[in-house]
Structure 1
Amino acid sequence: MRSFQTIANRMVAIRIAIALGIITLVGTGLSACSTPGNDQPSVSPTANPGAVNPQIQAAIQSLGDEDETVQEAAFDMLVEIGADAVPALAYALEDDNPQVRWGVAAVLGEIGEEAAPAIPALSYALSNDTDKLVRLTAADSLGSIVPAAATAVPALVGALNSGAEPEVRAYA
């Protein structure tokens, strides 16, 4: 009989392998549907851009894992993927888990200028996210995407002029 710790260690190893893309998840993230008058289903990406790459989606969700080792592996993988992960990362800024949103904002900042397509999503997070750490990280990440972040200036100015926490204003 295996001990609980052995099983827990194996689960962490599996999560890391998924996050690193060593294990491929089942599913393609594509949906098949037929339209009226057309019996042939068409295959198209689902609404979530990350769903077309299960490794990216798994890594994003791993940012919210309780195990810091899993979080770090996911962070490193997403930064390594870089620009190809940006659409899914921008989408994930609306995740229900604030830890995932915070991790996503941090990854986008680490990616830097290649994360420019996520500026509107980061600006929205800065202005509207309910979690202080997410807003703070969004402000910091927008600064890392400069000079492309010029479109974020209204959100940054809004954070400066709002009743936001002093820390959020400082990062803006």
Structure 2
Amino acid sequence: MRTTVLAVPVMLVGLVRNLPAQTPSKGVDPPKPAAVTMQVQTDLNRLMRGVLYPASNVVFSAQTDNPGDVKFVPGKDPSLATDPLESTFGGWQAVENAALALTESANLLLIPGRKCANGLPVPIDNPDWSRFVQELRDAGIKAYQLAQSKDQDKMVEAADILSAACAGCHRKWREKPRLADRCK
């Protein structure tokens, strides 16, 4: 019985070794992978509330609450923590992760088809929008680099850069007397 079980994998390996290498035929391009279509699942307001706002708060809180001082509570499961600093990936890793979330979120702000809370399209073709999105990306990268130093004093700089990036965009697109005027 044992030799039969071992013989099957050995035979399969032998068969695979004897197969000819698969090379594309001359003049024929290999098939291209199917294109992945990006799809918008929510409006800008919910994206901000669900991803950017919570992530930015982790960076901002690192100015006053040293992520290196976070102590896990005995008997409390960190995988169930609602505070990112106290979670399984807490402490400085939570700050780094939040900064990366902000950096990657810049890509989400450029997906065609997203709407503002008032139903207007996000102005992705406007040069100012692209500039503000790049400022967010740069702020996220800088926050990540500074968080890697695990120096709380450097998080003041990270928070200032992030705050400026957010404020510039909000002044242009969000801070309007009426919701209907946002994204114009």
Normalised by the size of structure 1, how large is the TM-score? 0.23
Structure with more contact order per residue of length (Cα contacts < 8 Å, sep ≥ 6): 2
Flag the structure with larger Rg.
2
